[in-house]
């Protein structure tokens, strides 16, 4: 049994190299696995399943092909693509996961999260997150025209960029108590998440492990889980 994890690709029209790298990954590495977990921020922005950007169509098709070949696909929302919904799930064959879920991996149980909900020192973001995850806000947003949605998304992104520029690196990392609490609540010794763009395998003295997936930029990252354990792997993304 081989399970792979990716997150934080932030696919967007201005980075066709990342889309190509993902398609290569799906056709090669991922075609040899039984389960592929996407732990959020696959897309830099997602304004609704009825407005899939043409550039992202090949990604939908490639996920579907992988699903049809027998790989189970799982999708957890990030803070960018929280509006991915059932239509996307049906088009790709992905199962949408709740924001925190415990799964049985080949080498043991693990708690999966995008990771933004662990950044509890960033009070401002946590408030903003509550708003964006509110079904009422989401329905209002989705009822707008595509042009209006694009404009709202642009404004939200600009606001978040200017706010984040003033925040320290510590504030934007996970809060250690939030991590411990989440792992205790789920009764796991392994947590896998993305979001912070600080790929690492953290291990504490009590054998609690936290594996942070990496974002895709000049290199890509994936986590491989087999009966032998977990390995975090990076590879170069060359735009050829």
State the nearest-atom distance from the C-beta of 237 to Mn ion, in Å: 19
User: Least distance in Å: CB of 80 to Mn ion?
Assistant: 6
**Residue-wise burial string across 90-125, b where 16 or more C-beta atoms lie within 10 A, e elsewhere:** ebbbbeebebbeebebbeeebbbbbbbbbbbbbeeb
How big is the CA angle at 80 (ends 187 and 163), to the nearest 5 degrees? 100
Task: Between 11 and 33, name the residue whose CB sits nearer to Mn ion.
Answer: 11
Question: Which of 41/44 has CB closer to Mn ion?
Answer: 41
- Give strand ranges (E) for 1-151: 3-6, 35-38, 72-76, 94-97, 100-105, 108-113
The angle at the Cα of 186, spanning 126 to 124, to the nearest 5 degrees, equals: 5
Shortest spacing between CB 228 and Mn ion, in angstroms: 29
Nearer to Mn ion, 39 or 186 (CB): 39
The nearest distance, CB 65 to Mn ion, in angstroms, is: 26
Residue nearer to Mn ion on the CB measure, 46 or 71: 46
Residue 189 structure tokens: 């010794």
| Residue 208, C-beta contacts closer than 8 angstroms, at least 6 positions apart | 180, 183, 189, 190, 191
Nearest approach, Cβ of residue 96 and Mn ion (Å):
17
Residue whose CB is nearest to Mn ion in the complex, by number: 195
By the 10 Å C-beta count (0-12 exposed, 13-18 middle, 19+ buried), 160 is classed as middle
CB of 38 to Mn ion, least distance (A): 12
Residue 50: closest CA among 141, 156, 152: 141
Looking at beta carbons only, is 149 or 195 nearer to Mn ion? 195
Residues that bind Mn ion (CB under 5 A): 41, 78-79, 195
Alpha helices in 54-207 (DSSP H): 57-68, 86-92, 123-132, 135-142, 146-165, 176-186
Query: Closer CB to Mn ion, residue 35 or residue 79?
Result: 79
């Amino acid at each position: 049994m081989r399970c792979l994890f990716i997150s934080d690709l932030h696919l967007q029209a201005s980075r066709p190299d990342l889309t190509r790298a993902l398609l290569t990954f799906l056709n090669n590495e991922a075609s040899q696995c039984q389960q592929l977990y996407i732990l959020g921020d696959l897309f830099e922005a997602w304004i609704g399943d009825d407005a899939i950007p043409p550039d992202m169509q090949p990604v939908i098709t490639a996920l579907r092909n992988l699903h049809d070949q027998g790989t189970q696909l799982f999708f957890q929302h990030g803070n960018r693509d929280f509006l991915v919904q059932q239509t996307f799930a049906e088009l790709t064959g992905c199962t949408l996961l709740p924001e925190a879920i415990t799964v049985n991996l080949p080498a043991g149980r693990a708690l999966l999260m995008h990771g933004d909900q662990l950044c509890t020192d960033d009070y401002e973001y946590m408030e903003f997150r509550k708003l964006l995850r509110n079904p009422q806000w989401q329905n209002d947003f989705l009822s707008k025209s595509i042009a209006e949605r694009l404009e709202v998304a642009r404004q939200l992104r600009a606001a978040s960029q200017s706010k984040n520029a003033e925040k320290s690196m510590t504030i934007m990392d996970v809060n250690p108590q939030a991590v411990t609490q989440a792992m205790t609540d789920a009764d796991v010794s392994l947590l896998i998440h993305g979001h912070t763009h600080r790929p690492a395998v953290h291990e504490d003295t009590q054998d609690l492990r936290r594996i942070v997936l990496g974002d895709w930029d000049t290199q890509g990252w994936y986590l491989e889980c087999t009966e032998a354990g977990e390995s975090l792997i990076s590879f170069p993304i060359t735009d050829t």
